[in-house]
Every structure is written in C-alpha cells, then in structure tokens.
C-alpha cells in the first residue's frame, strides 16, 4: 500500500474524514494541508529529503482567505506537482460533476482517479486508492457511463442526411446505392447502404423507411 500520502483539502471535516478512511487502509504516513502553496512546499521538501510522497489526494476548489496565494486551485496544484514529481499518483476528490471538466482532468492533467463528494462516491475512496496503487486508472461507476456517453452519441454525417433525402424522393435502396456509386461516395455498396439505413432506423426507433423519413423530418434533420 502507499506509504506516504498528502491530502490537500481546506475543509476541516472532510480532511479528517479522509484521514480516517486512509488510516483504515493502513497507510502509515498521512499529512493533511489546507493550502495549495503548502502542499507544493511539502512535496518539494519530501522530494529533497529522499522521502517523496507516493500519493496526492486533492480537492479542486480552495477558498480564498486572508493569505496571498500562488496556487489557488486544485488544477494549478496538480499541474505544478506533475512538473516537480511526474511519477506521483493523484486522486481528485471534489464536488465537481461536470463530465467535461472531469474528462479533462484525466486527459489533460493525467490524474489517476476522480471521486465525487456525494455519499455514494465517498464510500468508493478506499476502492479508488487500491485501484490506483495497483497502477490502474479509477473511474466511479456513474462517471464511467457518462464518459462512455460521448461515444454513444451519434452524430449523423452528410451521407446519412443525403440518404434520408434520397428516401424522401422515393428512391429505392438499390437506386440509392447506384446514386452513391456514380459519385464515388464511400460505402456505396447496397450492403453498406442497407446497414446504414438499418442503423438509422434503430436510432430513430423507426420500423419502415417511410417511418424513418417521417421521424427525421419531424426532428428537423431534413
């Protein structure tokens, strides 16, 4: 298990709660800090002393108070830490739940896990840390679905629209295939056209080509 963990969290109750969860995981050395600037100092110091931290658990938002800050957000802290100590593992623990933001934490900052602060996610923190320790990237269940969604969104291309338009003109599938072939469009075989049509029918929940065209028109696609 991780031997030395730094927690950056400005909220007292959350910090201690986290600390207790980690103790349960029998991590010997746990340090809780309330400021990003302190966090980066500790990481640098530990690195110099030859006893670097294995893991950083950080919030994203830190409230401003009377102190001047160099680093004022979790994102800034992560960026700086990655620069100083690229091998350190990072778990983000936050109320954030906008998929775009979270996705960018993984993609752009290279974090290892994101855990939400709602009750369901809190209980996943131990699981997340174990996964990260084993060298995996951890995603909470709810996030997994959301992140997959972007792949489940279907963006119709020009050929789909053209196909639908040709259907409105009363062309048969064979004629559409011929139309595509004459213009050297990709996937112009009858089979490809049929597949494409089948896919569209499924998406729009249409039973027949006529139903499909009606649906597409109704929804403003053609």
Shortest CB 179 distance to another protein, Å: 20
Nearer to another protein by C-beta: 94 or 188? 94
Which residues contact another protein (rule: CB under 8 A)? 11-14, 16-18, 20, 59, 61, 63, 95, 97-100, 103, 117-120, 122, 145-147, 149-150, 152-158, 161, 203-205, 218-221
Considering beta carbons, is residue 51 or 104 the nearer one to another protein? 104
Residue 12's φ and ψ, nearest 5 degrees, are: -55, -50
- Contact between 203 and 211 under an 8 Å Cβ cutoff? The reply is no
Cβ at position 86, least distance to another protein in Å = 26
CB of 100 to another protein, least distance (A): 3
**What's the rounded Cα separation, in Å, for the pair 119 and 80?**
30
Question: Which is nearer to another protein, 13 or 67 (by Cβ)?
Answer: 13
List Cβ neighbours of 91 (8 Å cut-off, separation of 6 or more): 55, 56, 57, 58, 111, 112, 113, 114, 115, 125, 128, 129, 132, 138
- CB of residue 84 vs another protein: minimum separation in angstroms? 26
* Rounded Cα gap, residues 202 and 194, in angstroms: 12
Give yes or no for a contact between 60 and 93, defined as CB atoms under 8 angstroms apart. Answer: no
Task: Please identify, using beta-carbon distances, which residue of 11 and 44 lies nearer to another protein.
Answer: 11
Identify which of 127, 116, 118, 108 has the alpha carbon closest to the alpha carbon of residue 92. 116
Pick the closer one to another protein by CB: 44 or 103: 103
Which element (helix H / strand E) includes 11?
none
Q: Shortest gap between Cβ of 144 and another protein (angstroms)?
A: 11
């Amino acid at each position: 298990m991780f031997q030395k963990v730094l927690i950056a969290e400005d909220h007292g109750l959350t910090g201690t709660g986290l600390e207790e969860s980690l103790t349960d995981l029998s991590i010997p050395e746990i340090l809780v800090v309330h400021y990003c600037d302190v966090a980066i100092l500790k990481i640098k110091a530990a690195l110099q002393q030859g006893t670097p931290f294995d893991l950083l658990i950080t919030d994203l938002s830190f409230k401003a108070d009377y102190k001047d800050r160099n680093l004022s957000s979790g994102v800034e802290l992560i960026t700086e830490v990655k620069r100083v100590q690229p091998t350190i593992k990072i778990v983000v623990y936050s109320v954030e739940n906008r998929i775009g933001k979270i996705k960018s934490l993984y993609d752009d900052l290279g974090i290892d896990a994101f855990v939400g602060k709602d009750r369901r996610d809190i209980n996943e923190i131990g699981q997340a840390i174990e996964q990260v320790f084993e060298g995996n990237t951890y995603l909470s269940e709810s996030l997994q679905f959301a992140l997959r969604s972007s792949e489940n969104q279907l963006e119709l291309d020009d050929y789909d629209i053209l196909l639908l338009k040709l259907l409105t003109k009363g062309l048969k599938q064979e004629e559409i295939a011929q139309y595509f072939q004459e213009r050297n469009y990709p996937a112009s075989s009858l089979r490809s056209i049929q597949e494409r049509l089948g896919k569209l029918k499924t998406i729009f929940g249409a039973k027949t080509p006529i139903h499909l065209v009606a649906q597409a028109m109704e929804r403003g696609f053609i």
